[in-house]
Structure 1
Amino acid sequence: MHDSNLKLSEEKVFKDPVHRYVHVRDKIIWELIGTKEFQRLRRIKQLGTTYLTFHGAEHSRFNHSLGVYEIVRRVVDDVFKGRPEWNEDERLLSLCAALLHDLGHGPFSHSFEKVYHLDHEQFTKRIILGDTEVNKVLKRVSVDFPQKVADVIGKTYHDKLVVSLISSQIDADRMDYLQRDAYFTGVSYGHFDMERILRVMRPREDQVVFKSSGMHAVEDYIMSRYQMYWQVYFHPVTRSAEVILTKILQRAKALYENSYSFKYEPSHFVSLFEEKVTLADYIKLDESVILYYFQMWEEEDDFILRDLCYRFMNRNLFKYVEFDPARQYKLLSRLDELFRQADIDPDYYLAVDSSSDLPYDFYRPGEEEERLPIQLLMPNGDVRELSRESTIVDAISGKRRTDHKLYFPEDLLLDHSKHQKVKQQILSILKKH
């Protein structure tokens, strides 16, 4: 049994560009940071392929995880401390859940999950509960402590206030990544007054609420999030890189399933191809491993795999045009047919990519719990939902914005060494649309 209140002999700090310092006094937190599963997050970028658009976006999930921990530490040690609604016994659990919330992310997370049917949240749970260094550290608090941490991250823990610190429409996770991603991409959109938001946070039985005097800081946060999604996260160039990455993963899997003889055995990928990924296999995956294979595959005999890997590694990305799949589905099938006539496989070289975001939503019964609305604490003690008080937030509440792009390799279409007429036809169709 471990004393959950055990402190380090002196405070450790990490210098941080967003929060200035990340402070660690709890021995458990320090030991968790030192585990191999947590250190692996240094080798996984927070923003996947975004570094190909914004060259500064090289920060890792390790940076972000420390940042989320630091925000929650400030909330529980400064803002909530001594308040009757806050259960001090949940302090260490809140800190551990904040630190470990992204533990199961894989390399280029979302593309991998889509192609190989993985779920980073399930792997977060498996790392916390499995035969891992993280699990051994957590068990020093108590035998059931790893399960409690997994429950908080999985949003099933009985104390909803603890869950809301890292999973709500305004939580430590979002507050860190918006500021951190804005800092490293060099854009101004993601900045908001976090100090003010922390000052007006108050614990309630089932979630964090915000004093109405801080409403403008909360509005600023909502708009920052809205702008970051459309200016950074859904940037069409980043999405082009994501499309190529997805096609590489699909091609490698298809070749394996057709007994293709790789020049270099893709041993790290075999369990992915067969969709039998063990926890040990998963923990070995990081972005340096994946990029090594992509570099090796630039030498493969298969033209599609070779070409796609070359494009990704050397940033020779697909071009794009605006596209409405609901209205232009006939056009897509026509392009598919013309691509085949031009000997360009549309399965790998013609792709519709869609992005969609709901910047803020009010409560809808029966929908996912994360859609709990942001509540304002009024001077008379009443609690009111944000969009009822804020005309700015009301204007975007419940309004989903969706954007579709059609991606294609312009350089292959401009190569007139063969199928010149068909390629010109394709280009004229794309130019028109």
Structure 2
Amino acid sequence: MDNQLTVIPPRPEVRQHNALINSSFVLNTLEWRAFTAILSRIHPDDEEFKEYFIPAPELVGDETGGSAYSQIKSLAKRLLNRTLYVELLGPKGERVSKPDYEYISFITKARYMRQRGGLFVKVNPDFVPYLLQLTQRGNFTKSLTAELKSLNSSHSFKIYWLLSEYRTFGARTFTVEDLRFRLGIRPEEYTDRFNNFKAKVLDKAQEELADTDLRFEMELLRVGKAVKQIRFTFNAGPLVLEPSATKLPFAVAKPATAMEPWAMSLLAMGVAEAGCEVIRRHLVEGQYPVDYLDYVVEVLQRPRKAKIRKPADYAYKCITGKLLLEEFRRSQEVLPAPAVKPVRKSVVKPVAVAPAETIYQLEEVREMYETPGPFAKQADRAPTFEQHIERIYLSQGFVLDVREGQQVLILRH
């Protein structure tokens, strides 16, 4: 077998399904290196897993002799026994809103090939939907192999992937419980003080990722004195697909005449086109109904004491973070009608109903244009405010008008 094994060189990029990125499992540093090395040998067009040989230097660096042999032999045994707690996919390979999880063995065969100086592995075919043909499914994240090679902490690898999934938007927020789950941290770990979790997991990842393309800052969001959420912000440019990659089904720009009403409303509010693509993907996956988007927009338009400084950011976070989803569901519940006494029939004159309107004050639109948030990138804006009005509003059916002495943009439904 040693002589017949075809050596597949590593590729400059690695990919995995977003469901696998968000699954709950932990690997040690050596296992993460093997995991990355396997992914780097999978081509976007592969339809089945091959037998993969990983040279020892990719795993243990410059170490040679007995030390390298001992580490890789031990690694082969651990990989064979390693199970990942994986988020299960829908019938078409899509993510679902309330997924089930299952323990799945990642490797079916592993051994140290001493004469060739490396590790031989075979991947469990159950991972085909998570690692193969991802260019056609579109629900995946890619990263550069070189960036991952500089990481040494186990949790740094996973945090890198979790942030890379959101690199287009420059921010991602987790509850503490959710992040612990995705990192595969046991319930009894770091339970005495949050500072221990921060120092040994978050701070260490921040230090290591500072040398990658996903350098991040953290904001600890508290309720009282307790940290409940962690907001990561970062400035990472999008990664360009290789020329051989198939176009994603959700990356095709829609002409203005085919734009959905909810997308028109969000674009008018200042949400970037890339943000609308993520929301469109969530709708296809059934993570929330389209009526939920209208509900969020309606909530933002309600009178309030404090003005929302960046409506685009707020809308995007409310929708994709499902912050108002439970409130929306409660609003859809039909309450039993109270019993009423019968009344005499009377003639009711029909009342004309005014057409529904979406109204934005021109000054607020200008403020959103001049001070975009992280979800309304500069690259998505027109060069001038007038061109922005034409592209986002007038071309979608809005008209300029004056209401109560102020210029407004009106869309009549």
TM-score of the aligned structures, taking structure 2 as reference length? 0.31
Give the strand-richer structure, 1 or 2. Answer: 2
Name whichever structure is richer in helix by fraction.
Answer: 1
Q: Which has the larger radius of gyration?
A: 2
